[in-house]
């Protein structure tokens, strides 16, 4: 089981240099998870960085998630508490990992669902996820 952070979703959707490695990691997992927050962050990034309209970005991301057989997990009180704790421990200005609040939610969703976390960049690698994190 794997949880894809918005950074991983963006990488594969945009076909950047790491997208093949990310796709390979996803193909190796039968259960693929993301959250509504990761999806909305991906849509916003497509709009901000790549000149998509909101409706076009939303449709593009939706098609990708359906084709890749992603399941969107809920964010509830448990994830809220864990994300707040992650921000206190690993958040921007508090720890070298420098996780944003939305990254803390990805961290929390992965931990609550006992899933590996797929991401780009270096922040999550500096947390306690250890072998459960796949940096692309």
Going residue by residue through the chain, which has 136 residues, state the pLDDT in tens, using 9 for 90 and above.
999 999 999 999 999 888 999 999 999 999 999 999 999 999 999 999 778 999 999 999 999 999 999 999 999 999 999 999 999 999 989 888 888 999 999 999 999 999 999 998 778 888 888 655 666 5
Q: Do 105 and 90 contact (CB within 8 A), yes or no?
A: no
CA 111-116-118 angle, to 5 degrees, is: 115
> Quick one: fold of 2-135?
Rossmann fold (3.40.50)
Residue 133 confidence (pLDDT): 60
Token pair listed for 63:
């098609």
pTM listed for this prediction: 0.91
């Amino acid at each position: 089981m794997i949880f894809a952070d918005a950074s991983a979703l963006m990488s594969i959707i945009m076909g950047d240099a790491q997208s093949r490695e990310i796709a390979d990691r996803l193909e190796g997992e039968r259960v693929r998870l993301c959250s509504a927050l990761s999806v909305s962050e991906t849509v916003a990034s497509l709009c901000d960085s790549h000149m998509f309209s909101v409706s076009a970005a939303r449709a593009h991301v939706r098609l990708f998630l359906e084709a890749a057989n992603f399941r969107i997990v809920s964010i509830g009180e448990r994830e809220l508490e864990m994300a707040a704790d992650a921000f206190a421990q690993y958040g921007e200005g508090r720890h070298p990992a420098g996780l944003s609040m939305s990254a803390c939610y990805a961290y929390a969703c992965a931990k609550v669902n006992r899933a590996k976390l797929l991401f780009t960049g270096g922040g999550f690698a500096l947390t306690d996820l250890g072998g459960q994190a796949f940096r692309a």
